[in-house]
Amino acid sequence: MYVIETDNLTKSYNGFTAVDKLSLKIEEGEIFGLLGPNGAGKTTTLLMLTTLIPPTSGTAKVAGLDVIKQPDKVRKAIGIVFQDPSSDELLTGYENLKLHGWLYDMPDDLKEARIKEVFSLIELTDRKDDLVKKYSGGMRRRLELARGLLHHPKVLFLDEPTIGLDPQSRDRIWAYITALAKKENITIIITTHYMEEADKLCDRLAIIDNGKIVALDTPEKLKKELGGDIIKLSAERPNLEALKSFKYVTNVSWLDGEIHLTVDDASAHLQEVLGVVGKVSSVVVRSPTLDDVFIHYTGKAIREGSPEGGWGDKVMHARSGR
């Protein structure tokens, strides 16, 4: 069963096409990743799927509901965890969730039962009566996950869920997200700038560039599709044309002063590569990663630049036509 379906979904601003005829089918219970460089269209896609901005053309259904014709019902069926902190730090954790329950018009008995349940799920029951301003960054992120889950959404949208967290807190959030998808039987759509996060969490992912999907599959299959090995070189005035002439070199990228080569059987051809590339100061040989997949399809590293601005900024820009 598909929980999200888009058909030629398009968004244009004053002649600029931010999302270009995007067609997606995401199954129930999937953890699905949207990856792309800044300005690629992934945030605009999320804004349309969550009814925050209307499409220019095409269609989209979330939980079987049309985002254009049934926006109110779509909003009741989804949860959102924004990139920027959005919980009220002058309220307690409990008060934040209670307010969220009121906004969704949850019956009192159900609301109290769910608050207790989600606090237990994120392991913050003993801190529920503390002011949020006393929470650590990881605790606050877990609270916002709990808030997004409170009303039993069918789909949970996570925009950069672990941005700014230390590695230990990030690992804990990853564990919670994986558990949530199974325990709550929900579909999770995630954007992230952390390739290891996408690799670990996502059942499938789509790489978006210039408003179009340029790759879509499981992380493992996307890595295997590159084929061969990766050779990363630092060299002075490298002879790129010589490298491109080798039949066993399937891709050559120049990034941040380093050469990234995709090579069939690097161990057999490394010496020949080093013989023509020029004066080399460092060399690394390894298996392909999602970083390499991203570079292959977009020509840039996802680390370039900072994560895109929060959804609130995007909505303001969209409404003002910027």
| CATH number of the domain within which 281 lies | 3.30.70
Residue-by-residue DSSP string for 248-311: TEEEEEEETTEEEEEESSHHHHHHHHHHHH-EEEEEEEE---HHHHHHHHHSS-TTSSPPPPPH
Residue 296 domain flag:
no
Residue 302 has what pLDDT? 60
Residue 133 domain flag:
yes
Query: Residue 233: enclosing H or E segment and its boundaries?
Result: strand 229-236
Q: Are residues 254 and 145 in the same domain?
A: no
Residue 101 domain flag:
yes
Q: Are residues 191 and 210 in the same domain?
A: yes
Residue 6 has what pLDDT? 97
Burial of 249 (0-12, 13-18, 19+ CB in 10 A): buried
Q: Count CB atoms within 10 A of the CB of residue 285.
A: 15
Residue 301 domain flag:
no
Q: Are residues 9 and 132 in the same domain?
A: yes
Burial of 87 (0-12, 13-18, 19+ CB in 10 A): buried
Residue-by-residue DSSP string for 62-98: ETTEETTT-HHHHHHHEEEE-SS--S-TTSBHHHHHH
Tokens of 60: 């989209």
Burial of 188 (0-12, 13-18, 19+ CB in 10 A): buried
Please state the φ and ψ torsions of residue 184, each to the nearest 5 degrees.
-90, -5
The residue segments making up the domain with residue 213 are: 2-218+307-320
Q: Are residues 208 and 233 in the same domain?
A: no
Q: Are residues 179 and 244 in the same domain?
A: no
Q: Are residues 63 and 192 in the same domain?
A: yes
Residue 256 has what pLDDT? 75
Residue 202 has what pLDDT? 94
Q: 11 has which bridge partners?
A: 19
Residue 188 domain flag:
yes
Q: Are residues 127 and 178 in the same domain?
A: yes
Residue with tokens 């392909």: 288
Tokens of 93: 């954790």
Q: Are residues 136 and 260 in the same domain?
A: no
Residue 173 domain flag:
yes
| Residue 259 near residue 276 (C-beta atoms within 8 A) | no
Residue 237 has what pLDDT? 82
In single-letter form, the type of residue at position 123 comes to E
Q: Are residues 11 and 102 in the same domain?
A: yes
Q: Count CB atoms within 10 A of the CB of residue 120.
A: 12
Residue 297 domain flag:
no
**What CATH number should be reported for the domain holding residue 125?**
3.40.50.300
CA-based diameter of the chain, in Å? 73
Residue 253 has what pLDDT? 84
Tokens of 63: 């939980």
Q: Which among 179, 171, 175, 128 has a CA at the least distance from the CA of 149?
A: 179
Q: Are residues 282 and 161 in the same domain?
A: no
Tally the domains of the chain.
Answer: 2
Q: Are residues 178 and 64 in the same domain?
A: yes
Read off the pTM: 0.81
| Residue 202 near residue 286 (C-beta atoms within 8 A) | no
Q: Count CB atoms within 10 A of the CB of residue 64.
A: 15
Digit-by-digit pLDDT tens for the chain (322 residues) are 799 999 999 999 988 999 999 999 999 999 999 998 888 888 899 999 999 999 999 999 999 999 999 999 999 999 998 877 889 999 999 999 999 999 999 999 999 999 998 898 888 999 999 999 999 988 998 899 889 889 989 999 988 888 777 788 788 888 888 887 887 789 999 988 888 889 989 999 999 999 999 999 999 999 988 888 999 999 888 888 899 999 999 888 887 778 989 999 888 999 999 999 888 999 999 999 998 899 888 877 665 444 444 554 444 344 334 3
Residue 188: CB partners within 8 Å, gap ≥ 6? 30, 31, 32, 155, 156, 157, 158, 177, 180, 181
Q: Are residues 204 and 240 in the same domain?
A: no
Q: Which among 264, 226, 227, 230 has a CA at the least distance from the CA of 246?
A: 264
Please state the φ and ψ torsions of residue 92, each to the nearest 5 degrees.
-75, 170
Residue 232 domain flag:
yes
